[in-house]
Structure 1
Amino acid sequence: MKKLMLIGMLLSSTAFGFDFKADWNAKWIGLTEDSAVNTWLAYRTGVELDSVPKEVIANIACDSKYWLWINGEMAVFEGQLKRGPNSKDTYYDPVDIAPYLKRGENTIAILVWHFGKHGFSHNNSGKAGLIFDTQLFRSDSSWKVIKHPAFGMTGQKHPNFRLPESNVLFDARKDMGDWTAPAFDDTAWQNAVELGTPPCRPWGRLAKRQIPQWLDSGLRKYEKVSKKANKDGSTTVTGKLPYNCHVTPYIKLKSKPGKTIDIRSDNYIVTGNACVRSEYITKNGNQDFETPAWINGHHIHYKIPKGVEVLEVRYRETGYDADVVGMFECENERLNELWQKSFRTLYVTMRDTYFDCPDRERAQWWGDMVNEMGEAFYVFDAVKGPMLAKKGIYELAKWQRDDKVLYSPVPAGVSKPDNRKMKKKDGSWYKELPRQMLASVGWYGFWYYYWYTGDQQTIVDVYPHVRDYLSLWKLGADGLVIHRTGDWDWTDWGKHKDVPVVENAWLYLALKAAVEMAQLSGNTADIADYQASMKSIEANFNKTFWDGKQYRSAAHKGLTDDRGNAMAVVAGLAKSKYYPAIQQVLKQEYNASPYMEKYVLESLFMMGDADQAVERILKRFAKMIDAPISTLYENFGGGEDRANHGTINHAWSGGGLTMMHQYIAGVQPTSPAFKTYSIRPQMGSLKHIRTKVPTQFGTIELELNKTESGVLAMNLNSPKETTATVALPLTEKMNTLTVNGNVVWAGGAKKNCPAGCRFQGVTDNRVRIELAAGKWAIELK
C-alpha cells in the first residue's frame, strides 16, 4: 500500500487550534431516508483526467468512518476521526490522492460506516453523509450511492453503551461483488441526494484532521494458529497475536451458503461489558472476508460451523502513526519488562484520541491522558507523537460547558437535560471529575505538554479556558480549598483516600501551572490572584494536615493515605524535614491505584530515595510483570480473578515508564522542548542504564555504567542545538572527573575543561558540568 502523505500536520495553530475549512465547493451527499444505527453506505463516481498533478488534495469527511478505493486500490483504510472538535462540528481528512490517479478514466469508491449513536468517544450527528472535495472534482448529485445490502445488525450481545461502534454483521449472500472495481456496473444505484454545503447542519463546520492516518501493516500471518473442537460440532480457530494491538481479522474459506462465523478477540467481554465483534454469513464456494471494525487483544477467535473449510486466517494491525524512538534498559529484567508492557499499554490506548482502554470504553478520560502524555514524550518522535496530546488539549477546552466546567471524556455524546435526569446510558456524557480536571489543566497536564514540546500557541489559546475553570475553585475560611464535588466526586480507585490532602495538592499544582501559563500568554494581571491562593495553601497546608508523623486530615477515618502524603511532596508543600516520616508511610501503605501510584513513585524519587522507589515499583507491579500478557491491568487486584484487575490494558498504569526515563536515567527538560535539559540519574543499586529520549533537535542517547571498583562511566550523544547539564552523584571515594579524556575535576579542584564543557561545581553531593551538543565520554572515580 502506498503511504499517505501527512498534510499540514505541524504543531502550528489556526482558528483556536482547529483549521476550519471555509471554501467548500463540494456537497454533502447521501440518502433522504433517516439514518439508522449501524448504517453502511457505498458511494461511487467516475472522473476523466487529461493529466494528473503532482498533488491532488482530497478533503474528505463523513459521519463516522470511511474506506477509500481509487481505481480498485485501497487508498485509505478507516479514515475520519470520531466526531468532534467541539459539541457541534466535525473533522475532515486532507488526503493526497495523486499517487492513485491516472490519465483517463478514474473510479472513486467509498464505503461509509455511520455509527448512528453516541459514545464516550463520538458525538453522533444523526445523519449519514459524505463530502469529497478536490480541485479537480467533488461530490454532488452525480455520484452514485446505495445502502450496502450485506451489512446488518447482529443479535445480542451488543457493545456496551460507552462504544459508538456496533457489531459488524456481513451476509456474503447479499454482497454486491467487487463494487470498488472500475469495471463494476453501478447504473442500478440511485443518484446521491445533495444535503448541503459546509458549514451546514447537522455536521457543522469542518476542522482539519490534526493527526496522521493510521499506520497499516497490511495482512499478516498470526504467530500461531490452533484449533479446538466444540461440543456443538463447531470448531474454534484461534490466531495468536504478537502482542495486544488493534487488528481487523481476516479469513479465507470454502463453504456452502448460510453458515455464520463469529469473530471476536479474547478481550470481547471486559468486566462484564461486551465490546465489538463480527459475524460473517457465508455464500457458496471460495470466499474471503476482513472485518472493517478493529478490535484488540492477544488472540482472535473464529468460531467455525461444521461444514466450513478454513483456508487461511490473517490479521491487519493498524494504529497511531508515530515513530518509536525512546527506549530504556537496565540489568534488572523485571524493570525492562515493565517498560515494555507500559509501552505496549500506551500504544494500544492511542488512536482517534488517547483513551483509557481500547476495548470497554475507548474514552479520553483526562486523568489517564495526563499519565499517557508523560510517557509518550519519552517514547514517540517529537513531531507526530505530540499531535495526539495537542488534539486532546484543544478538545478539552472547546467542550467546556457554559458554566465554565471542564469535563471528560470528550468527544462524547451531547447529553440532553432529560437524559441526565433519567440517567440514560446513551453514550452521552457531561460530568465533571474535579480532581482529574485539576490534573489536566495543571502542572502535569497542559503545562507538561508545553514544557516537552515548546508549543506556546496552544497554551495561549487554551489559557482563557483554564482561567475560567479555576475561577470555580474557592478557598475557605481556613485558607484551604473548599471541597468541590463536581458531578462525580472521584479522587482515585480504591480505599483510604484522604481527599482534603490530595485536593489541596492538586489545586496547588494547577495554580502553579496557571502562573506560568498566564505569564507565557501575556495575561500577567491574573498572576497575583493565583499566587495569593498558593500562599494561602502554603501557609495552612502543613499546620492543618501534618500531625508529626504523616499527612492526615482531621475527618479522615481510614488508613493513612499514601496518595495524600505523596502528593504533598510532588506539589512541593512538604518540608524536607518531613521526608523520612513520609518515606516510612510509603513503606507501609499501598492504597493508590495504578493511576495515582505514578505520583507516589515520583514522590520517592523527588525525596531522593531511588532504591525505595524501585523496590515499590517492583512490588506493586509484580503481578502485572509476571502476567502472561503484553499490557498492564487497570487495578492492583487481588487473587487470580481477572475481574479484580479490571481491564488488561489500561492507560493509567504506565507511569513507571516515565519514572525510568525522568528519574532513574534522570533525563528531563530544563527549558521547553529540551533546548536545555538535565541528566541527574538516580540509579540506586542499579549498575547499568541505557536510554534514548526523542526531542525536536534529535535523539538524546545516554548510557551509564557503575563498576565494582566504584567508577561511574557515562556516554552521551547530545543533539545539535541543545545544552545538557549533568549532575552525577558522588561517593566518599570519588575525587576525579574526566571528560573525553581530560581531567576536569580532581582533589576538590577544577582542572582543564575541553571545548564545549563547563565545570559548574559540586553541590548537593553531585558534581556538575554543562555540555554542548556532541558526543561525550565521562568518567567519575
Structure 2
Amino acid sequence: MRYKYLTLLCYTLLFTSYQALAQGLPPIFDKTYESQKDSRIRHYLTPKRIVWTSDKTSTSVVDAQKLLVKGSGQADLVHQNFCKMISTADVKPGILFDFGKEIQGGIQLITDQPANQKPIRIRIRFGESVSEAMSDIDTIRGATNDHAMRDFVVEVPWLGSMQVGNSGFRFARIDLIDPDRELQLKEVRAVFEFRDIPYLGSFKSNDERLNQIWNVGAYTVHLNMQEYLWDGIKRDRLVWVGDMHPEVMTINTVFGKNEVVAKSLDQARDITPLPGWMNGISAYSMWWVLIHRDLYKNQGDIAYLRKQQKYLVGLLDLLIQKTKDNKENLDGTRFLDWPSSENPEGIHAGLHAMMVMTMEAGAELCTILDEPAQAAKCKNTATQLKLYVPEINGSKQAASLLALAGLVPAEKANADVISQGECERFSTFYGYYMLQAKAKAKDYNGALNCIRNYWGGMLDMGATTFWEDFDLAWTKNAAPIDELVPEGKDDIHGDFGAYCYKNLRHSLCHGWASGPTAWLSEHVLGVSIVEAGGKTIRVQPNLGDLTWAEGTYPTPLGVVKVRHEKQADGSIKSNIDAPKGVKVLR
C-alpha cells in the first residue's frame, strides 16, 4: 500500500512539473506556490587590495595576497592557492579587504580542507570606510547594526562555501575568533546585488571632475534601487518620501521609467491613510504630490496617475485645511532637512514655500485628472499664500524654496543668502534645491563651482558614492575613508556627523545626495520636458565656464542626444538628435 502511495505521489509531482514547464515556470513552481520575482541580479567581486592584516610576520596570516586572485567560486580537492589564518590562545588573526567601490550585498567565502573538519567561527565586519570596518559596535564611535547587520559572527564549513550578509559596504574585515583553529580560505568575494538596467542618460564635458560627479550621483541612486527605493543601503533602508524627490529626478535623468519608483510611492500611500502624514512629516506628503507631478511630466503615464486620484484629492483637501491667515499652519513633524532642523523660522519659511509649490502642482495634476473644482481650490489657495512672504532667517534651505516658489526673486535669494560663504551650510539633500535656485538666478558658474567643491570634496576623501551629509570643514585635517587613520589626523567618518547620523552611523551612500546628476543634465545639457512623456522638450544649454558638453536624456519615445560647443564669440553651437515623435524647442 505504501509503495502504491509513493508511486502515485511521484506521478503527481511529475505531472505538476510538466504542467509548470508548459507554462514557462520552473518545475514544482505551479500556481499553488506563491513566489515573488526579484528583478535584481548578482555579481561577484574579487577584492582590489588588502588594506591591513593583524600579522606582520606571516605566521598567523599566510599568503593573504592569494585572495586577490580571481577564482571560480567553487571549492575543490586540489588543496592549493589558499590563504591560511591560524589562531592560538593569544593570537586571533584578521584581514581587512577593499572591494574598490561601495556596493549593496554580502560576502562569499570559499574554504579548503584543514585537518580539523569542524565548522569554524569567524567574525565579519562590513564598513563603508576603513574605520567603520575596523570598529566595534559601541555607544562611542556610533557603529551600528541598525537596518542591516554589518558586524556578526558566523560559522564557515570545511571544504565548502558560505554566503552571508545584506548591507552597504566597500570594506570587509574577517577575524578568526576561536583559539587553536586553522581557516583555509581559497576565495573571499563580495556579492554585489543590483538592478541590471542600462544607463540611458549620460553627461560628458571638458571638466573630468564634473563628469565623475555626474556618474557617482547616478551610481549612488542605482545602489538604492533595491526592493524599494531606499534612502541608504547601510542605514535608512526605508522609503522616505521627501528624500525620494532628488532620487526620482536622477532616475528620470539616467534610467527613465523604472518600477521601483511607482512601487515605493504606492507603498507610502498605502501605509499612510489620511489624515496621516507620510513618514509622520507633513513636508513629505507634499513631496509625494511634487514627485507625482514631476514623474508624470517625464513619463506621461496617465493610467498610473489616475490610480492616485482619490488619495491625491483627499491629500490636497487636507493640506488646504492646514492654512491659516494666508500662512502654512502644518502639524506633524515640521522638517526640511537635518542641518536646518534647529531653525524654526527657516522651517516655517520653507514649509510655506513648499505649500505654494504643492498647491500649484496639485492644480496642474487635478486639471489633467478632470478635477476642475479641486484645481480651482488649489489655485486659489496658492494665490492666497503668495500674499505672505516669511522671513528667511539665514536658512539656505528656506531661501532656495522661496526662490523656486516665486515668493522671493531668485537673484536676491542667491545673492543675500545662498551664495554667502559659497558652499558653507550646504547639505547633500537640499543642496539640489540650492543649485536649482542658483540656476533660476542665472548663477551657473556659482552652481558649477559648488558642485566641484562640495560634492567633489567627498570624492577627494575617497568616496565612490555620495553621503548623507557633508561639510567641507571636516576635510581640513582628515584622512580619506580608504585609509587607516594616522595619529594626529581626523577620521572623516568616525569623528563627525550629527542628529541621526553621528560618527560611524553616518551613511556614506544616500540617494538624496544625487542632485548634481539631474541638475547637470537639466541646466548644462539644457534638457527639460515641456509636454508630458517627452513629446516636447526644450534644449537651452548653459555651459558656464565649460567649453563643451554632451550627453543623452531618456524619454518614453527614445533617447535624446545633444552636444554643445562654445564658439570663439561666446555663442554656443548645438547638435541635437531627437527620436521620432519628440518636438524640440530651443
TM-score (norm 2): 0.78
Q: Does 1:263 align with 2:124?
A: yes
Secondary structure of 2:561's aligned partner: strand
CA contact (8 A) 1:475 1:533 kept: no
Asked if 1:494 corresponds to 2:342, the answer is no
Which of the numbers 493, 501, 522 marks the counterpart of 1:642?
493
Which residue pairs with 2:519 in the alignment?
A: 659
Contact 1:508/1:571 (CA < 8 Å) preserved in 2?
Answer: yes
Measure, in 2, the Cα distance between the counterparts of 1:458 and 1:288.
44
- 1:375–1:271 Cα change, 3 Å: farther
List gaps (5 residues or longer) in structure 2.
1-9, 61-89, 479-491, 498-505
Tell me the residue number matched to 1:276.
149
Residues 149-168 of structure 1 mapped to structure 2, 5 A cutoff: none
Q: Secondary structure at the match of 2:162?
A: strand
Letter in 1 for 2:53: K
State the 1:455 CA deviation: 1.0
Describe the shift of the 1:362–1:530 C-alpha distance in structure 2 as closer, same or farther (beyond 3 A): same
Match of 2:554 among 685, 694, 698: 694
User: In structure 1, what is the Cα distance between the partners aligned to 2:367 and 2:38?
Assistant: 32
Q: Quote the residue 1:446 is aligned against.
A: 292
Taking the aligned partners of 2:372 and 2:186, their CA distance within structure 1 comes to 68
How many residue pairs are counted as aligned between the two chains? 493
Amino acid at match of 1:378: T
Deviation at 1:54, TM superposition (A): 9.4
Structure 1's 581 and 304: CA in aligned 2 closer, same or farther, altered over 3 A?
closer
Matching residue's letter, 1:536: Q
Shift of 1:651: 1.4
Match of 2:328 in 1: 481
Once the two structures are superposed, residues 412-439 of structure 1 have per-residue CA deviations (whole angstroms, 9 ceiling, x without a partner) of xxxxxxxxxxxxxxxxxxxx11112212
* 8 A contact 1:271–1:647 mirrored in 2: no
Tell me the secondary structure at the aligned position of residue 358 of structure 1: coil
1:287–1:582 CA distance, 2 compared to 1 (3 A): closer
Q: Residue 724 of structure 1 aligns to which amino acid in structure 2?
A: V
How far off its partner does 1:593 sit?
2.2
Query: What is the rounded CA distance, in whole Å, between the counterparts of 1:246 and 1:477 in structure 2?
Result: 46
**What percent identity do the matched residue pairs reach?**
17
Matched, 1:245 2:103: yes
1:233 to 91, 99, 105: 91
Q: Does 2:181 match 1:310? A: no
Q: Report if the CA contact (8 A) 1:692-1:701 is conserved.
A: yes
Secondary structure, in 3 states, of the residue corresponding to 2:307?
helix
Q: Which residue of 1 aligns with 2:224?
A: 349
- Matched position secondary structure for 1:494: helix
**SS at structure 1 position matched to 2:464:** coil
Residue identity opposite 1:454 in structure 2: G
Higher relative contact order (CA 8 A, sep 6+): 2
Residue in structure 1 matching 2:238, options 363, 387, 396: 363
Q: What's the counterpart of residue 586 of structure 1?
A: 418
Residue 45 (structure 1) shift: 12
Alignment of 1:21-32 (within 5 A): none
* Shift in alpha-carbon separation, 1:516–1:224, aligned structure 2, 3 A: same
Please give the residue correspondences for 1:64-143 in structure 2 after superposition, counting only pairs within 5 Å.
96-98=24-26, 101=27, 133-134=30-31, 138-139=32-33
Give deviations 1:529-557, integer Å, cap 9, x for gaps. 1111111012223xxx3xxxxxx25xx5x
Whole-angstrom CA distance in 1 between matches of 2:156 and 2:412: 68
Shift of 1:681: 0.8
Kindly indicate whether the alpha-carbon contact (under 8 Å) linking 1:327 and 1:379 is maintained by their aligned counterparts in 2: yes
Structure 1 residues 227 and 499: CA distance shift in structure 2, 3 A? closer
Per the TM alignment, residue 653 of structure 1 is displaced from its structure 2 partner at its CA by 0.9
After TM superposition, give the deviation of residue 692 of structure 1 in Å.
Answer: 1.2
Select 1:324's aligned residue among 199, 213, 219.
199
Is 1:608 aligned with 2:480? no
Tell me: CA distance 1:309–1:212, structure 2 relative to 1, closer, same or farther (3 Å). closer
Q: 1:407 to 1:678 in 2, by over 3 A?
A: same
Question: What does residue 522 of structure 1 align with?
Answer: 370
SS, match of residue 544 in structure 2: coil
Shift in Å at residue 294 of structure 1?
2.3
Amino acid at match of 1:447: R
- Name the aligned partner's letter for residue 467 of structure 2: Y
- Map of 1:623 onto structure 2: 457
Q: Is the 8 A contact 2:213 2:456 kept in 1?
A: no
CA distance, structure 2, for counterparts of residue 457 and residue 617 of structure 1: 37
CA distance in 2, matches of 1:338, 1:651: 13
Q: Give the Cα–Cα distance (whole angstroms) in 1 for the partners of residues 522 and 536 of structure 2.
A: 14
1:306-364 Cα deviation digits (max 9, x unpaired): 41111222233211232222111212222122112212211121101111111122111
SS of alignment partner, residue 594 of structure 1: coil
Alignment match of 1:286 (pick from 159, 174, 179): 159
Given the alignment of the two structures, is residue 674 of structure 1 paired with residue 538 of structure 2, yes or no?
A: no
* SS in structure 2 of the partner of residue 240 of structure 1: strand
- Distance in structure 2 (CA, Å) of the matches to 1:504 and 1:702: 37
Query: Considering only aligned residues, what root-mean-square deviation do their CA atoms show, in Å?
Result: 2.8
Are the counterparts in 2 of residues 247 and 315 from structure 1 also a CA contact under 8 Å? yes
Q: Which amino acid aligns with 1:451?
A: K
Partner of 1:455: 301
Change in 2 beyond 3 A, CA 1:522/1:45: farther
Aligned partner of 1:407 in structure 2 is 278
- Does the 8 Å CA contact 1:325/1:379 hold for their aligned counterparts? yes
Asked if the contact 1:400–1:465 (Cα under 8 Å) also holds between the matched residues in 2, the reply is no
* C-alpha distance in 1 between matches for 2:12 and 2:202: 48
Question: Matched residues in 2 for 1:356 and 1:271: separation?
Answer: 19
Q: Which has the higher helix share?
A: 2
- Distance in structure 2 (CA, Å) of the matches to 1:579 and 1:46: 75
Report the residue type matching 2:518 in the other structure.
T
Structure 2 residue matching 1:273: 3-state secondary structure = coil
2:19–2:30 CA contact under 8 A, matched in 1? no
C-alpha deviation, 1:481, in angstroms:
1.5
Cα distance in 1, alignment partners of residues 518 and 49 from structure 2: 33
Deviations, residues 381-418 of structure 1 (Å, cap 9, x unaligned): x3xx42111111211222223x422313xxxxxxxxxx
Matched, 1:534 2:368: no
The alpha-carbon deviation at position 288 of structure 1 amounts to 1.8
Contact 1:246–1:348 (8 Å) recurs in 2: yes
Alpha carbons of 1:310 and 1:608: their partners in 2 closer, same or farther (altered >3 Å)? same
Structure 1: gaps (5+ residues)? 1-43, 58-95, 102-107, 109-131, 140-205, 409-431, 546-551, 727-781
C-alpha change, 1:525 and 1:625, in structure 2 (3 Å) is same
Query: Which one is further off, 359-368 or 257-266?
Result: 257-266
- Correspondence for 1:398: 270
**Which residue in 2 is equivalent to 1:565?**
399
Q: 1:221 to 1:455 in 2, by over 3 A?
A: same
Distance 2:40 2:161 in 1: 23
Aligned to 1:216: 42
Q: Is the 8 A contact 2:334 2:347 kept in 1?
A: no
AA aligned opposite 2:360:
K
Normalization by structure 1: what TM-score? 0.59
**Alpha carbons of 1:580 and 1:227: their partners in 2 closer, same or farther (altered >3 Å)?**
closer
Distance across 1 between alignment mates of 2:41 and 2:517: 23
Q: Given the superposition, is the C-alpha separation of residues 709 and 539 from structure 1 closer, same or farther in structure 2, using an over 3 Å criterion? A: closer
Is contact 1:356-1:651 (8 Å) kept? yes
Partner secondary structure for residue 300 of structure 1:
strand
**Residues 494 and 220 (structure 1 numbering): CA distance in 2 closer, same or farther, change over 3 Å?**
closer
The worse-fitting range, judged by mean Cα deviation, of 333-342 and 345-354 is 333-342
Confirm or deny that 1:706 pairs with 2:566: yes
Letter aligned with residue 420 of structure 2: Q
Check conservation: 1:406, 1:469, Cα contact below 8 A: no
